[in-house]
Structure 1
């Protein structure tokens, strides 16, 4: 069961949004796997590892956070993911 779910609309191709997400997560020391349809990721943080899955439908990047540190609010993770996806 997801601990936090949200969707991020995007413009451009699904390949572009995947490339942005993969680059940002790997730069943060995390792991990213998947394709233009769906996949998963994990990112280490000082409080613990954040894990999740994603799915792309039309122009929407839907994220389900499946595991996160108890002390880390879902809204903080959502904010960071949105920043990752905005970076060119």
Structure 2
């Protein structure tokens, strides 16, 4: 398994617990990102993503360990708060 690295320091970081299989969660995450016109490169263990918003792009990475996915936002528009990004991702992955 190839490990994908993103070296920028996170501006936001949060963990999401999940009960489904990691592959299903990552597939759902990838689908939501690409449907929104973003890019996604990753696997069941880790990856990177970028998605455009009306106020600018959000870039991040994720890692999966057990039943927890950790999402790190490494670049975001100044006017888009971390709590808004986290809330959106939580809603999309439920």
Alignment TM-score, normalising by the size of structure 2? 0.89
| Residue 21 (1) aligns with residue 26 (2) | no
- Give 1:74 deviation, angstroms: 0.5
**Deviation per CA, 1:35-74, whole angstroms, max 9, x where unpaired?**
0010010000000000000000000010000000011101
The yes-or-no answer on 1:53 pairing with 2:61 is yes
- The root-mean-square deviation of aligned C-alpha atoms, in Å, is 0.6
CA distance in 1, matches of 2:81, 2:17: 22
Task: Provide runs of 4+ in structure 1 moved above 6 Å.
Answer: none
Residues in 2 aligned to 1:84 and 1:55: alpha-carbon distance in whole angstroms: 17
| Structure 2 runs not aligned, ≥5 long | 1-8
Match of 2:50 among 16, 23, 42: 42
Aligned length: 86
Question: What residue ranges of structure 1 are gaps of 5+ in the alignment?
Answer: none
Aligned-pair CA distance for 1:79: 0.7
Q: TM-score, normalised by structure 1?
A: 0.95
Structure 1 residue 84, shift from structure 2 partner: 1.6
Match of 2:18 in 1: 10
| CA–CA separation in structure 2 for the residues paired with 1:81 and 1:27 | 14
